[in-house]
Structure 1
Amino acid sequence: MSSGDDSEEIRLTRPEGQDGWTAVDIATGVASQGRTREEALENLDEALAGYHGAGEEPSDDELRALGVDPAENESSGDLPSVLQ
């Protein structure tokens, strides 16, 4: 953990009565879990990458496989009303 404006804090816990670990990024609220501490942290890294927009946009074939017509797939940049 570091201090200052760019500090990062992760809470790593092993809930009582459960076999796995939970990792939470405090700044974003993004959480993940794993069977081991290392796995929970690796899964958190992957979840944070998705949270921050990492990855590639889906291809037209991937959209079609999900039942989405690529020609009608538009993004205005605005959040849906349910998320506002």
Structure 2
Amino acid sequence: MSTEEVRLIKNPDGQWTARDLSVEVTAQGETRSDALDNLDAVVAAVEDDGGEPPTDEEIRDLGVDPEVARSQDDDLPDVLQ
């Protein structure tokens, strides 16, 4: 049986920070519940390879043409290698 420990902190700006001490990841939210939900998503992404590929709309929201983004090779820029 593993032990899970989460720390919740109310920030001066009213936001909440949730930290999973065993996985060592952090998330924020407007409420405690939001912070914990966001933390669950981060933990799932780290531990279970969770998440989904971005939609075309999400890619466009970043100012990138989805077709151009998909046509790029998978090589990382030098600074990230």
TM over 0.5: yes
Higher helix share: 2
Secondary structure at the counterpart of residue 23 of structure 1: strand
CA distance in structure 1 between the aligned counterparts of 2:29 and 2:14, rounded to whole angstroms: 9
Q: 5+ unaligned residues in a row in structure 1: which ranges?
A: 75-81
- Are 1:39 and 2:69 matched, yes or no? no
> Percent identity between the aligned chains?
34
- Out of 22, 25, 28, the residue aligned to residue 30 of structure 1 is 25
Shift of residue 69, structure 1, vs aligned partner: 4.0
Q: Deviations over 1:21-53 (max 9, x none)?
A: 100000121100111110100010111111121
Q: Where do 1:5-84 residues align within 5 Å?
A: 6-15=2-11, 17-52=12-47, 53-56=49-52, 58=53, 65=66, 67-69=69-71, 72-73=73-74
* Paired AA for residue 45 in structure 2: G
CA distance in structure 2 between the aligned counterparts of 1:55 and 1:32, rounded to whole angstroms: 15
Displaced runs of 4+ in structure 1, greater than 6 A? none
TM-score, normalising length: structure 1? 0.60
TM-score, normalising length: structure 2? 0.62
